Copies of this chain bind each other. A is one copy, B any other.
């Protein structure tokens, strides 16, 4: 799974009918410092997450299980709302030569 921040929503009237009823959240992956990384993921919400929240999201076949639609076109889903992130800074130091 990855840590993401919900930054918006997408509306699509014409779409695969198996997406109906799912809110489509624009989710940006964040690193342990809260910085946004990479490209936007459009994830279906399965936990009642809101705009601006830090969430846990999953991709691929796992997302279809999250949405309880194993044979749907879903490939990303929000599966948790993050209350707290504990990072031990000493392990973020590189040990390389």
Contacts and interface: CB of A to CB of B under 8 A. Distances in A.
A94 B34 contact: yes
A6 B86 CA distance: 11
A12 B81 contact: yes
Contact of A37 (B6, B32, B39): B39
For the complex formed by this chain, how many copies does it contain in all? 5
Contacts of A60: 60-62, 75
Interface in A1-38: 1-3, 5-16, 18-19, 24, 26, 28-38
Interface string A54-97: 00101111111110001111111101111111111011101111
B62 A31 contact: no
Interface of A: 1-3, 5-16, 18-19, 24, 26, 28-43, 46-48, 51-52, 56, 58-66, 70-77, 79-88, 90-92, 94-97
18 contacts: A1-B42, A1-B43, A3-B26, A5-B91, A7-B32, A8-B87, A9-B85, A12-B82, A12-B83, A15-B47, A15-B79, A29-B39, A33-B94, A46-B73, A58-B74, A61-B64, A62-B64, A62-B75
